[in-house]
């Protein structure tokens, strides 16, 4: 099953609210699905010390592209 890892920047000032990053990722996946690119948010991992957040997505029909720092395919 193909999954995509998206890396985003989260400043330390917002690192205390780790659930916010996950909500934003889920909302992005839902918006993409409404626009015709079916994608599901799998999980979010926040690394506050590195100001980095990783989001794992699974495309349901075709590849989803989001504005990110980096995106890697995991098969």
Residue tagged 């075709």 (tokens)? 62
Res. 14 pLDDT band, cuts 50 70 90:
confident
Q: Which H or E element spans position 18?
A: helix 18-34
Res. 63 pLDDT band, cuts 50 70 90:
very low
Average pLDDT over all residues of the chain: 83
Q: How many CA atoms are closer than 13 Å to the CA of 30, on its beta-carbon side?
A: 6
Q: Which residues contact 66 (CB under 8 A, 6 or more apart)?
A: 6, 28, 32, 57
- Find the mean pLDDT for residues 4-24: 87
Q: Please tell me the predicted confidence (pLDDT) of residue 68.
A: 53
- Find the mean pLDDT for residues 26-34: 93
Residue tagged 């916010």 (tokens)? 20
Rounded Cα gap, residues 66 and 8, in angstroms: 10
- Find the mean pLDDT for residues 21-44: 92
């Amino acid at each position: 099953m193909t999954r995509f890892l998206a890396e985003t920047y989260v400043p330390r000032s917002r690192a205390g609210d780790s659930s916010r990053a996950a909500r934003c990722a889920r909302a992005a996946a839902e918006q993409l699905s409404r626009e015709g690119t079916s994608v599901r948010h799998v999980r979010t991992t926040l690394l506050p010390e590195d100001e980095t957040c990783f989001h794992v997505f699974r495309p349901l029909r075709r590849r989803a592209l989001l504005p990110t720092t980096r995106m890697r395919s995991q098969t």
